[in-house]
Chain A
Amino acid sequence: MIDFVVLVLLTIITASTPLVFAAIGEIVVEKAGVLNLGVEGMMIVGAIGAFAVAVTTGDATLAILAGALSGLVLAFIFGFLTLYLLSNQVATGLALTLFGIGFSALLGNGFVGQTYGGLPHLDIPILSDLPIVGQLIFGQDILVYLSVVSAIGVTWFLGRTRWGLAVRAVGENHDAAHSIGFSVALIRMGAVLFGGAMAGLGGAYLSLAHTPLWVENMTAGRGWIALALVVFASWKPWRAFFGAYLFGGITIIQLHAQGFGLDVPSQILSMLPYLATIVVLVLISRDDSRLRLSAPACLGRSFHASG
């Protein structure tokens, strides 16, 4: 029984990690006042980018970097269009997702059916031999550790550093930030690129560790769930982290439900994460005034400095 619980918990970590990356990245983007709805697109391109490099070179580190870079390149397109050509952020984000899905399918055409051995586990000596917690906490792969570090790091960055303050400032009031001398477009571009790299890492985790192979559309809406998590978390990284684990849990429990002899068709159970997302969004947006207080005031608005 204990073994089974450990197994479930391990799979929950696996299901949650991609969401952690994508949601934490998007928090930084939205804190800077930019709404990038292209998370799904950046994730899927990250997934194929990482998988292609993993299969071709066999080098896990290179593969992870490739995943981050793929997401970042896509994010750059988004940033250039919305920040410099001032295109509508909602439309551009949708375009990014549509493009990402098509582009990843094209890239992945030659990789269908190939397999990859999965990310090596970084066992921490001694600790990883502990019963139960050993494998759970000290025997994970690098990306799981990195996801935890990113949640802590982003909390620190946004709350404690001058540049974090600047990111919040351009998201709060871009006109004021401009008039006291910050480059709104540059700071936002930085945030967008970071968000892209994080979404790419989330995608990389999917194709390298979660299910180490390439399937078209394999993100299956996780990018959108990450967007919902950002709202759910009221733009706070640590809340997004726990939110991601909550969702990971729902996904996994649904997988194991049939194991417990629950007689519900698998398709109906598979709807759970999506329905849960809707329920969570409703719960969080019911309290309109609180949402408005925590949302960055300039979220989704374009900025152009005249002159």
Chain B
Amino acid sequence: MTDTPRLELIGITKAYPGVVANNNVSLRVMPGEIHALLGENGAGKSTLVKFIYGVQKADSGILKWEGEVTDIPNPNVARKLGVGMVFQHFSLFDAMTVEENISLGIAPELAKSGLTQRIIDISTQYGLPLEPDRYVHTLSVGERQRIEVVRCLLQDPQLLIMDEPTSVLTPQEVEVLFRTLRQLAADGVSILYISHKLQEIKDLCHTATIMRMGEVVADCNPAEETPRSMAEMMMGGNLTPPERTGKAVPGEPQLIVKALNVASSHSHGTDLKDIDFQVRAGEVLGIAGIAGNGQQELMDVLSGEVLVSDPESIIIDGNPVGASGPNQRRSVGMTFVPEERLGHGAVPQMSLWENAFLSGATRMNLLNNGFMRIKQSEEYAATIVEEFRVKTPGIANVAESLSGGNLQKFIIGREILQKPGIIIALQPTWGVDAGSAAAIRQSLIDLAANGAAVLVISQDLEELFEIADRLSVICEGRLSPGRNTEEVNVEEIGLLMGGISSEPITEVAAHAD
């Protein structure tokens, strides 16, 4: 190894209106090094790597490539230098084939004839099987990520940037990816690995740069740290796991779902098949699964945004509601927290009180002969802001002016204050800072302790193990039987998430009974 860093950043600063995403960030990555960039959501990791890849410009700072000061104005230049990037939100085109996707993302010279063969060569060499003629929308999330990786490898990269690559993979798929990355590093490729998953970083990375609120707070050797010590550096304080104030004894089922079969209304969606489960008062049921396995479809059907023909297939507190819309379900005691905060759970351009009215009109009695009770709506919004410690100058401010964590606290608070018999939350802490996430989890646990039924659908296994009493896994639109959280481990859930053949599952399930 030489002493010249492959990549060196000195004093990178990038500000957006109202927020400094990167403040004087410096780091160096050596050849053949797997370098972790660690930080919470919103710490500024993605902004930094988009700068390295030429997608975004910085306000100030220097980038050195192989010791030379270099300007990377766009991704084409980055690729010419030998920088490859695998995006967190894949940069793929669903309506095109694998090969078309790859040819668009590489230099034109490389996209000429013989590309098909080279795709097959590279993908076999690194154990990433791909069929060049398949359309992307027919592929699983894991396969899509392979396209991105192969696209980078085709260009012989010197530096590979991976932005949260494992958030969409099963634990088993993660192992395969890590093997590929280690093989690449051994070949001398530098890897900049972005994550907030501590155990992964400890397992994989040689060095780590830890960011918090746009600044570098520490450089360390992950092998010498514990996940806990890195977490404290990342969050800048001590971790407080959620408290459980005694276990409520589960009561009557608040939600019963029977033999639910629904064709997806999304293009390229997942159909729900034979979904069967119940959630009882006082318990938290967690549904794990990799993105795109039917979570959104399940949420749509449970919330009443998509209706089913048989009313009896969904029963809330004894009321058959399969064919009833969201407000009828609200009136019998169900409230919901959608995944997307801006645009689904809240109207970005509307004020907080209008957003409080949005879902609260039915249960909070905010309508008077079709006219809005504006004063009562404002009071309701103010109560949410106060009780759930939402940071905002006032309830007349629009939803999009709040940070992700604060808006999510507002939405969760809005649904909890309606005193639901059952609440359903999809990815309740996705993209939320650790403080808000902890508060949200605690409030869901407390709600269950007070006798409500809680259903949390999440891709975050740590979160589910923390708050759920029982766990199920959704995979390709099928739901596994619920198991008590104490009786399962991460590996078993991981296998279920990967859709490993159903026989061992029934065997395990039979054991549990």
Contacts and interface: CB of A to CB of B under 8 A. Distances in A.
B75 interface: yes
A176 B93 contact: yes
A173 B57 contact: no
Contact of B87 (A168, A172, A179, A293): A179
A307 B103 CA distance: 26
A180 B96 contact: no
B225 interface: no
Nearest to A176: B91
Of A169, A172, A180, A292, the most chain B CB neighbours within 10 A belong to A180
B92 A176 contact: yes
Interface in B92-125: 92-96, 100, 103-105, 108, 111
Interface in A144-201: 162, 165-166, 168-169, 172-173, 175-182
Of A176, A292, A297, the most chain B CB neighbours within 10 A belong to A176
Nearest to B111: A162
Contacts of B105: 180-181
Contacts of A297: 94-95
B14 A181 contact: no
A195 to B, nearest CB: 20
B104 A173 contact: no
Contacts of B79: 181
Contacts of A305: 56
B443 interface: no
Contact of A172 (B57, B74, B96, B108): B96
Contacts of A307: 14, 16, 50, 55-57
B94 A181 contact: no
A267 interface: no
A175 B103 contact: no
A179 B105 CA distance: 9
B397 interface: no
A306 interface: yes
B94 A173 contact: yes
A57 interface: no
Nearest to A183: B74
Interface residues of A, number: 22
B76 interface: yes
Contacts of B320: none
B267 interface: yes
A114 to B, nearest CB: 49
A292 B265 CA distance: 11
B375 interface: no
B262 to A, nearest CB: 15
Nearest to A307: B56
Contacts of B78: 181
A306 B74 contact: no
B89 interface: yes
B90 A293 contact: no
A151 to B, nearest CB: 21
Given A293-B267, A297-B95, A169 B104 contact: yes
A288 to B, nearest CB: 10
Interface in B34-71: 50, 53-57
Contacts of A177: 91, 93, 104
B189 to A, nearest CB: 20
Contacts of B89: 175
A176 B95 CA distance: 13
Given A173-B91, A179-B91, A306-B16, A162 B56 contact: no
B115 to A, nearest CB: 12
A179 B103 contact: no
A306 B56 contact: yes
Given A176-B90, A181-B79, 9 more contacts: A166-B104, A168-B96, A169-B96, A172-B95, A173-B93, A179-B91, A181-B74, A289-B267, A293-B267
16 contacts: A165-B100, A165-B103, A165-B104, A172-B93, A172-B95, A173-B93, A173-B94, A175-B89, A176-B93, A177-B104, A179-B75, A179-B87, A179-B91, A180-B105, A181-B79, A289-B267
